[in-house]
Amino acid sequence: MAAKDKKVLYISQEIYPYLPESDLAHVARYLPEHIQNAGHDVRIFMPRYGLVNERRNQLHEVIRLSGINVIVDDYDHPLVIKVASIPSTRIQVYFIDNSDLFGRKSLFGPASEGAPSDNADRSIFFIRGVFEAIKNLRWIPDLIHCLGWFSALAPVYLKTAYKDDPYFERAKVIFSVDGNEEEGVIGDDLIKKLEFDKITGDMLAPLQGEVTPDALRRMAIHYSDGVILGQEKVSPELIEYLRSEPDHKVLEYPGPAAEHPEAYVDFYRSFTE
């Protein structure tokens, strides 16, 4: 990006070293560091899954950002924000936490054996929690990069429920289509919960009546300004859907972020200049 001090928000379902290294966690770890070192202002958010060791990773609560409730389908869920610094870097990661939704020792498994999936509630809470935290930070992003199917509702909410919010109305949103990350079952009540937030009718068309990770990826593609292919091989069905929406800017798989950050930077620049 040519101009300095652009504000870039990362919303990722996983980040190394807080979870085991994967292609997605690798991008979410190293790309923000490169962007920050280039002189831009970066904020990174991920869920505080029960698998994240708070003591070892030195997480601590950010009191001034916590204490509000996030409404999901007419239910209030207390929002707790925690933060940690990636070792040997100037990068801080903010964690969206709620003991009922994220306390379990899994990424996307049910709360107990045989229990129905609550991943719809968890994903909506995560996304809305990020946006409410950003507003409490009084920080207006220029670009929002979403990584992983669990972040896929962010572009949807940005272009619907938050479209007139002064904190987000000018932001461009990019979604990375990976498909190689851990997935989970989404509750059949997802559509009902989206409709509670007035995301209804034709706005739900990209789901094609499904509630699967790929259905959420289609939603993210539809509502994003740009799409990055995060793997050499992405689902042919998703590629076909992406090609059916020719207005999107697309970055073909550029290779690992730590080795080819300039490709991501050039793509960012196309939205911020």
> pLDDT (tens digit, 9 = 90+) per residue, 38-92?
899 999 999 999 999 999 999 999 998 888 999 999 899 999 999 999 988 889 9
Q: Which two tokens stand for residue 99?
A: 């003991």
**Three-class secondary structure of residue 228 per DSSP:** strand
Percent of the chain scoring above 70 in pLDDT: 99
Residue 168 lies in a domain: yes
Distance CA 219, CA 149 (A): 10
Q: What is the extent of the structural domain holding 240?
A: 7-270
Burial (Cβ within 10 Å: 0-12, 13-18, ≥19) of residue 22: middle
Tokens 């069905």 belong to residue: 237
pTM: 0.95
Domain count for the chain: 1
> Which CATH number does the domain housing residue 23 bear?
3.40.50.2000
Average predicted confidence (pLDDT) for the chain: 93
**Would residue 28 count as lying in a domain?**
yes
Residue 254 lies in a domain: yes
**For the segment 2-27, what is each residue's pLDDT rounded down to a tens digit?**
556 899 999 999 999 999 988 899 99
- Per-residue pLDDT at 179: 73
Q: Is 2 contained in some domain?
A: no
111-146 confidence digits (pLDDT tens): 888 888 999 999 999 999 999 999 999 999 999 999
C-alpha separations of 267 from 94, 96, 129 in Å: 25, 28, 27
Instruction: Extract the runs of DSSP E, i.e. beta strands, from 13-125.
Output: 41-47, 60-61, 69-72, 75-78, 80-85, 92-97
Contact 48, 93 (CB under 8 A): no
User: pLDDT tens-digit profile of 209-264?
Assistant: 999 999 999 999 999 999 999 888 889 999 999 999 878 899 999 888 888 899 99
pLDDT confidence of residue 2:
52
- Cβ proximity of 69 and 76 under 8 Å: yes
Report yes or no on 1 lying in a domain.
Answer: no
